[in-house]
Amino acid sequence: MDRLFLVASTLFFLLAVVRTALLIRGGAFRPGRSSFLAIAGGFVLQTAFLWVRGNTLGRCPLTNLFEVFIFMAWSVALIYMLVGPAYRLSLMGAFTAPLVLLIQTFALLSPIDRPSAPKMAVNPWLEFHASMSIVAYGAFALACVAGLMYLVQERQLKTHQIHSVFHHLPPLTDLYAAITRLLWLGFGLYTAGLVSGFFTGEPLPRVKMVCAIAIWIFYGAILQGRHLFRLAPKQVAVLCVVAFSAAVCVLWGITFVSEKVPT
C-alpha cells in the first residue's frame, strides 16, 4: 500500500522532468509554477509514504537501504522546497527533479526493500543520528545540483554559446553563494548527525565510522579549502559534485554494512 504513494510520487517527479525536457527541446525553457507544483506534489506523496511506513514500523523509516534512499530523496525535495524559492533558484527544480526521479526509480526497481532483522527497542539517539545524517545528504545533494548549475552557466559564459536555459540560470556569484550556504547547512547537519552517533550507546562498526568521518573531512576541506588552498568557485562546484557522488557511494556502503551488522 505504502509503495503506491511512492509510485505516485515518482510519477509526479517524472512529470516535472518531462515538462522541462519538452520545454528545453522546444528552445523556450522557462521555470514555471507547474514544475514547482509537480515537485511539491511528489514531496507530499513521499511524506505520505514515509508516514505510513513509519507507523507500520513504529520507528523512523530508515531500517533498510530502500528506506534510506527514499528518505534521502525526500530530504532533497524538502531542502529544495525550503531553499529553492528563498534563493530565487527556481531553475533548481529542473535539476532537482531528475535527481529525485533517479533515486526513487532505482529504489523502486531494485530488490532492496527487504524487511530488516528484528530490532531492539527504539533508540531516539540512533533515530536522530540517522535522520540528521540523511537530511544532511539532502543539503549536499542540493549543493551538488547548484554546483552543476554553476558549471553549466560557467561553460556557457566561457564558450560564448548562449542557450535558452542561460537566461533562466541565476548569476554565477548567486549560485556560488547558494553552494556555500548549502555546504554549511549540510555540514552542520552532518556534524550533528555524526556527533549524535556517539551517544547512541551502541557499538558502531569501524568501517562505518571511518567512512562517515572521511565524508565529514571531505566537506570540511571543501569549505576551508576555499581559503586555505585558494580554490576557485569552479573548483568548489566540481568538488561538490565529486563529494556528493562519493558520499552516496559511502552511504550505500554504510547501509550495506548496517544491514549485515545490525546496530
Chain centroid, CA 129 distance in Å: 17
Nearest to 258 by CA among 190, 200, 195: 200
Count the residues of the shown chain that bind other proteins, applying the rule CB under 8 A. 24
| 8 A C-beta contact, residue 219 and residue 140 | yes
Report the Cα–Cα distance between both ends of the chain, in Å, rounded: 28
Distance CA 21, CA 45 (A): 23
- What the block records as the C-alpha cell of 27 is 528552445
| 8 A C-beta contact, residue 13 and residue 42 | yes
| 8 A C-beta contact, residue 129 and residue 197 | yes
Nearest to 249 by CA among 210, 215, 200: 215
Stretch that binds other proteins, among 33-41, 133-141, 150-158, 252-260 (CB under 8 A): 150-158
State which of residues 28, 109, 120, 228 lies at the interface with other proteins (CB under 8 A).
28
19 forms part of the interface with other proteins (CB under 8 A): no
**22 versus 232: smaller Cβ distance to other proteins:** 232
| 8 A C-beta contact, residue 100 and residue 42 | yes
Cα distances (angstroms) measured from residue 119 to each of 15, 25, 196: 38, 50, 19
262 forms part of the interface with other proteins (CB under 8 A): no
Q: Is 157 helix (H, G, I), strand (E, B) or coil?
A: helix
State which of residues 48, 64, 234, 252 lies at the interface with other proteins (CB under 8 A).
234
**158 versus 206: smaller Cβ distance to other proteins:** 158
State which of residues 18, 232, 249, 261 lies at the interface with other proteins (CB under 8 A).
232
230 forms part of the interface with other proteins (CB under 8 A): yes
State which of residues 153, 196, 255, 258 lies at the interface with other proteins (CB under 8 A).
153
Residue list 237-256, contact with other proteins (CB under 8 A): none
**235 versus 263: smaller Cβ distance to other proteins:** 235
Residue list 162-181, contact with other proteins (CB under 8 A): 162, 164, 166-167, 169-174
CB of 149 vs other proteins, minimal distance in Å: 12
**114 versus 163: smaller Cβ distance to other proteins:** 163
Amino acid at 60: C
CB of 215 vs other proteins, minimal distance in Å: 24
Stretch that binds other proteins, among 8-16, 135-143, 159-167, 184-192 (CB under 8 A): 159-167
Q: Is 216 helix (H, G, I), strand (E, B) or coil?
A: helix
Interface residues with other proteins (CB under 8 A)?
27-28, 30, 153, 157-158, 160, 162, 164, 166-167, 169-174, 226, 230-235
